[in-house]
């Protein structure tokens, strides 16, 4: 294998002690991933996609291979070498397979890699799920085409699980029509009222009443990160208010939006948002006039 590959990218992240058990979501994944070629967890930042997958990966009744992606993985050969290394953790013998030999060479032909990948997967005797976390960072067309080809030709025991902040450029409509796609989106990822109560009172030790919890659940709409950041703000300044404030003016939420949302926007999108932020209402004509 390529010696520059980072081992931590292909390890299932550890479970933290202070964690709300997403029992319903874990059960949904464990029962349904194996019934679909592709599972998609798609939601904006802060909805707990990775955390939910980590819980499931540690509790899954079948092997789970894990790959944490970053922008540097937008290279066909690097991407598939990492996928192979993730697969290697659940099936050590794959390193000596034709696929392993191909990827140990210099720039093997993409068609050979894909054919070998499918042929090796066809030998699996039990289900394997390959998780590709932060897949929204992958924009390389050759990788997207390759993954679409793999999904179209996957044998029955191999399944891909993609998590990202936006839908990938894959033929999702086709997979949806064929019932090959399991979609997990914001409504599935939101904290349920009982999970919100457990997080705020048991983990964050805030001792909130039912009325406060109900108000926070409604205001946050189950967005996990807003609960965490607002609760941290309350713990840092408990005397300022008796209620948790879910607002962009709250320091930690403001910092999160700046770092995880605003700073990641394309320059033209950011410029448009700044130009139109002075408006109380927005329509196409006003937006064009200000842009």
Residue 130's domain is classified under what CATH number? 3.40.50.300
Pair 53, 201: CB distance under 8 Å: no
> What SS3 string covers 148-209?
HHHHHHCCCCEEEEEEECCCCCCCHHHHHHCCCEEEECHHHHCCCHHHHHHHHHHHCCCCCC
For residue 177, what are the domain limits?
Answer: 7-189
Contacts for 39 with CB less than 8 Å, ≥ 6 apart: 29, 32, 33, 129, 159, 160, 161, 162, 181, 182, 183, 184
The reply to whether 102 and 154 lie within a common domain is yes
Name the packing angle between helices 110-121 and 141-153 (round to 10°). 30
Place of tokens 């919890």: 213
Domain end among 142, 167, 189 = 189
**pLDDT for position 285:** 76
Pair 112, 68: CB distance under 8 Å: no
**pLDDT for position 276:** 74
The reply to whether 119 and 165 lie within a common domain is yes
The reply to whether 84 and 101 lie within a common domain is yes
The reply to whether 93 and 221 lie within a common domain is no
The reply to whether 40 and 176 lie within a common domain is yes
Domain end among 173, 189, 205 = 189
Residue 282 lies in a domain: no
Q: What is the pLDDT along the chain (291 residues), one digit of tens a residue?
A: 455 899 999 999 998 877 899 999 999 999 999 999 999 999 988 899 999 999 999 999 999 999 999 999 999 999 999 999 999 999 999 999 999 999 998 889 999 999 999 999 999 999 999 999 999 999 999 999 999 999 999 999 999 999 999 999 999 999 999 999 999 999 999 999 999 899 888 888 888 888 888 888 887 778 887 787 777 665 555 444 455 545 444 555 555 555 555 566 577 766 776 777 777 777 777 767 766
The reply to whether 241 and 253 lie within a common domain is yes
The reply to whether 140 and 229 lie within a common domain is no
Domain end among 189, 211, 236 = 189
The reply to whether 92 and 108 lie within a common domain is yes
- Is 0.85 surpassed by the pTM of this model? no
Burial per residue of 125-136, b for 16 or more beta-carbon CB atoms within 10 angstroms, e otherwise = eebbbbbbbbbb
């Amino acid at each position: 294998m390529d010696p520059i590959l980072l081992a931590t990218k292909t390890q299932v992240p550890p479970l933290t002690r202070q964690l709300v058990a997403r029992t319903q979501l874990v059960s949904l994944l464990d029962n349904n991933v194996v019934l679909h070629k592709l599972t998609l967890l798609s939601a904006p930042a802060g909805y707990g996609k990775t955390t939910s997958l980590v819980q499931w990966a540690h509790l899954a009744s079948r092997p789970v291979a894990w790959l944490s992606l970053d922008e540097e993985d937008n290279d066909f050969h690097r991407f598939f070498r990492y996928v192979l290394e993730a697969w290697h953790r659940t099936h050590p013998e794959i390193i000596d397979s034709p696929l392993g030999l191909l990827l140990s060479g210099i720039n093997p032909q993409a068609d050979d890699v894909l054919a070998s990948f499918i042929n090796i997967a066809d030998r699996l005797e039990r289900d394997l799920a390959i998780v590709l976390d932060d897949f929204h960072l992958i924009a390389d067309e050759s990788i997207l085409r390759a993954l679409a080809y793999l999904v179209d030709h996957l044998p029955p025991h191999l399944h891909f699980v993609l998590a990202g902040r936006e839908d990938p450029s894959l033929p999702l409509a086709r997979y949806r029509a064929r019932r090959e796609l399991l979609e997990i989106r914001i409504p599935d990822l939101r904290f349920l009222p009982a999970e919100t109560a457990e997080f705020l009172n048991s983990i964050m030790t805030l001792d909130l009443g039912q009325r406060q919890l109900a108000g926070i659940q409604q205001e946050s709409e189950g967005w996990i990160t807003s609960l965490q950041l607002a609760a941290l703000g309350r713990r840092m300044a408990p005397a300022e208010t008796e209620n948790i404030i879910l607002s962009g003016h709250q320091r930690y939420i403001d910092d999160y939006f700046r770092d995880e949302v605003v700073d990641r926007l394309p320059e033209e999108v950011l410029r448009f948002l700044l130009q139109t932020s002075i408006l109380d209402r927005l329509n196409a004509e006003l937006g064009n006039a200000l842009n």
